[in-house]
């Protein structure tokens, strides 16, 4: 791909090629740009997480994020199984400022609603707090280090998709 992408879409990464594209974006951003050790970037949760991928019209991967849910998310959500954990949100350098990150967050929230979750938590790098606040997330708790960078926990309440929750 050359230049700045003008059209893109998001989708759940199910095919192996989509998952590999997600991992490559993460490697480029976290390992390549932010110097996160590669052994910290990938974990056992990658196998069970819901991964979302943003792609340009020509198929180039632009960004990714993942959603942990159930027992996998419990360690990041205070044990609350009704809360999912958004993480590993990464947007390639050429796609920043185009709304790709916000589109990925909304796609992950849609996946969380489909799973019947009531809220989404995340651990934001402190420089990204404003981005998440604009999307409705609220910071809570003290600042803490993760992979050598300062982070804050944040949460956004979401409504489950119609027909998912057990109402009357």
- The CATH number of residue 72's host domain is 3.40.630.30
Q: Is 8 left (phi over 0), alpha (psi -120 to 50) or beta?
A: beta
Does the residue 166 lie in any domain?
no
Token digits of residue 3: 């230049």
Tokens 């609350």: give the residue: 80
* pLDDT above 90 as % of the chain: 82
**Which residues fall within 8 angstroms of residue 105, CB to CB, at 6 or more apart?**
65, 86, 89, 132, 135
Average pLDDT, rounded, for the chain: 92
Does the residue 2 lie in any domain?
no
Token digits of residue 78: 């205070």
Q: How many domains does one find in the chain?
A: 1
Does the residue 168 lie in any domain?
no
Does the residue 1 lie in any domain?
no
How high is the pLDDT of residue 97? 93
Does the residue 167 lie in any domain?
no
Token digits of residue 111: 């996946």
How high is the pLDDT of residue 3? 62
Element (H, E) at 113: helix 100-114
For residues 160 and 151, give the distance between their C-alpha atoms in angstroms, rounded to a whole number.
27
Token digits of residue 129: 């707090």
Does the residue 127 lie in any domain?
yes
Question: Pairing between strand 119-125 and 83-91?
Answer: parallel
Does the residue 163 lie in any domain?
no
What is the extent of the structural domain holding 110? 8-157
pLDDT tens profile 53-94: 999 999 999 999 999 999 999 988 889 999 999 999 999 999
Give yes or no for residue 168 having a pLDDT over 70: no
How high is the pLDDT of residue 6? 72
Does the residue 140 lie in any domain?
yes
Tokens 């990658």: give the residue: 46
Give the chain's largest Cα–Cα span: 53
For residues 39 and 50, give the distance between their C-alpha atoms in angstroms, rounded to a whole number.
20
């Amino acid at each position: 791909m050359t230049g700045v992408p003008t059209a893109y879409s998001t989708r759940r990464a199910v095919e192996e090629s989509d998952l590999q594209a997600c991992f490559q974006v993460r490697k480029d951003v976290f390992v390549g740009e932010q110097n996160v050790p590669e052994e910290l970037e990938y974990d056992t949760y990658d196998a069970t997480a819901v991964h979302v991928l943003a792609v340009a019209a020509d198929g180039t991967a632009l960004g990714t994020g993942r959603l942990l849910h159930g027992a996998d998310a419990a360690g990041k959500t205070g044990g609350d199984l009704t809360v999912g954990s958004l993480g590993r949100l990464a947007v390639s350098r050429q796609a920043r400022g185009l709304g790709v990150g916000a589109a990925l967050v909304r796609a992950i929230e849609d996946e969380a609603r489909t799973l019947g979750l009531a809220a989404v938590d995340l651990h934001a790098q402190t420089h990204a707090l404003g981005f998440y606040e604009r999307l409705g997330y609220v910071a809570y708790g003290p600042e803490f280090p993760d992979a050598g960078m300062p982070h804050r926990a944040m949460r956004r309440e979401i409504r489950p998709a119609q027909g998912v929750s057990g109402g009357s």
